[in-house]
């Protein structure tokens, strides 16, 4: 039985985490060497991956979660069931505040799976709403 009312697609956390781990190979992180992969599961069952991209002007760097989200949005996807984020750090990489804001706007119902790339079997599960309660909203 689905946990979320609008859940359409079956959510296989291991599969999404594996996709995020695979997407991590695309990381462009020459400065920090901190490679992050993310994978979004759409409500139609598509999985769209992304990885972090760094700039010499550090503030221009973009996280894997936002790269995956921007790829998905610009490909016409609008409904997301889950996102996984993977990097080599103890406990896995928690999304930064900027990514939480974007996820709250475009994937508010999504589940969030977090894993250390050295231990993909241990997956922490959150919700976007739980990670960013009282998110900023602006009516169009
Ligand atoms: Zn981020």
Q: What is the pLDDT of residues 16-69, one digit of tens each?
A: 999 999 999 999 999 999 999 999 999 999 999 999 999 999 999 999 999 999
Q: What is the pTM of this model?
A: 0.93
Pick the catalytic residue: 7, 46, 54, 65?
A: 65
Cα–Cα dist 84/61, whole Å? 19
User: pLDDT, tens digit, for every residue of 72-128?
Assistant: 999 999 999 999 999 999 999 999 999 999 999 999 999 999 999 999 999 999 999
Cα–Cα dist 79/76, whole Å? 10
| CA 97 – ligand 1 centroid, Å | 6
| CA 136 – ligand 1 centroid, Å | 16
Annotated catalytic residue 65: yes
């Amino acid at each position: 039985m689905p946990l979320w009312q609008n859940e359409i697609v079956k959510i296989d956390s291991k599969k999404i985490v594996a996709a995020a781990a695979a997407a991590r190979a695309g990381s462009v992180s020459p400065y920090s060497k901190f490679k992050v992969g993310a994978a979004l599961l759409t409500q139609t069952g598509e999985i769209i991956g992304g990885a972090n991209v760094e700039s010499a002007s550090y503030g221009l760097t973009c996280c894997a979660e936002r790269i995956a989200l921007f790829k998905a949005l610009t490909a016409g996807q609008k409904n997301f069931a889950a996102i996984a984020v993977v990097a080599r750090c103890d406990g896995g990489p928690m999304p930064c505040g900027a990514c939480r804001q974007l996820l709250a706007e475009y994937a508010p119902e999504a589940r969030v799976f977090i894993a250390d790339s050295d231990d993909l079997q241990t997956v922490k599960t959150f919700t976007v709403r739980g990670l960013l309660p009282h998110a900023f909203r602006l009516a169009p």
